[in-house]
């Protein structure tokens, strides 16, 4: 476990991507906005990513870049980028694209994370802060790529899974920090930071809470 730091922001911004996850109702979106604002005030170019389609983040940080990523839109882009434009068009026309994630577990998660990886790779921002899924979905969200990499040997799905694993730092020491937002026994809302070391086990080295 790394030594505790008096400057939790430095621990966060040492990575290129911060994913904020936590049980619903504990202030996850607020923590996302606070991290983004602090990083911007420190002079970093910050991109905020929200995954649930709510406009709250854009209202909290109106002067920062905010993008919304949905699984159907990310899958549509993924299919088009990999030469399956006709299939994407047909799936969109019939509405089936919204059901792909259920039919093929893990696909919707890796295309969303793959889109985040694409944004990180562009180099347009120093830090990407993601208002991630609620705690119940966070584990599958972060482990889907490892599962697909184990079961798919080659092709675009395997390449996407490998990209996501590289983003999560499973082989390279960590480009991503996971911030877990947890309520204390007194009802206060605090975030606990952990470096993502192993996507399969979600092993995290904890840093000081953000008060």
pLDDT tens figures, 170-205: 543 456 666 666 555 444 444 444 333 333 333 333
C-alpha angle with apex 77: 73 to 79, nearest 5 degrees? Answer: 115
**Which residues, 6+ apart, have CB-to-CB distance to 210 below 8 Å?**
8, 31, 34, 35, 179, 190, 191, 192, 193
DSSP-based three-state secondary structure for 40 = helix
Name the one residue in this structure whose structure tokens are 């088009």: 80
pLDDT at position 101 is 53
pLDDT at position 189 is 43
Q: Is the dihedral of CA 131, 135, 139, 144 positive or negative?
A: negative
For the chain, the average pLDDT equals: 74
Q: What is the pTM of this model?
A: 0.72
Q: Looking at the chain, list the stretches that DSSP marks H as alpha helix, in order from N- to C-terminal side.
A: 8-13, 28-41, 56-60, 71-81, 85-94, 100-103, 107-122, 135-151, 156-168
Is 107 within 8 Å of 153 (Cβ atoms)?
Answer: no
pLDDT at position 29 is 92
Is 180 within 8 Å of 170 (Cβ atoms)?
Answer: no
pLDDT at position 207 is 36
pLDDT at position 153 is 75
Please identify every stretch of the chain with a pLDDT value under 50, giving residue numbers as ranges: 1-3, 97, 171-173, 185-211
């Amino acid at each position: 476990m790394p030594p505790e730091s008096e400057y939790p922001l430095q621990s966060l911004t040492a990575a290129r991507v911060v994913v904020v996850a936590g049980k619903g109702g504990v202030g996850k979106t607020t923590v996302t906005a606070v991290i983004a604002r602090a990083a911007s005030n420190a002079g970093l170019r910050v991109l905020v990513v929200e995954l649930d389609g709510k406009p709250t983040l854009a209202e909290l940080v109106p002067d920062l870049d905010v993008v919304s990523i949905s699984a159907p839109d990310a899958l549509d882009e993924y299919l088009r980028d990999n030469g399956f434009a006709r299939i994407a068009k047909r799936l969109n026309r019939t509405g089936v694209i919204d059901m792909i994630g259920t039919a093929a577990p893990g696909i919707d998660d890796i295309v969303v994370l793959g889109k985040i990886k694409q944004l990180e790779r562009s180099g347009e921002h120093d830090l990407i802060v993601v208002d991630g899924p609620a705690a119940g979905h966070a584990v599958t969200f972060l482990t889907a790529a490892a599962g697909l990499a184990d079961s798919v040997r080659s092709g675009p799905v395997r390449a996407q899974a490998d990209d996501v694993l590289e983003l999560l730092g499973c082989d390279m020491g960590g480009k991503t920090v996971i911030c877990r937002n947890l309520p204390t026994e007194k009802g206060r809302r605090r975030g606990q930071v952990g470096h993502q070391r192993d996507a399969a086990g979600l092993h995290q080295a904890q840093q000081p809470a953000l008060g």
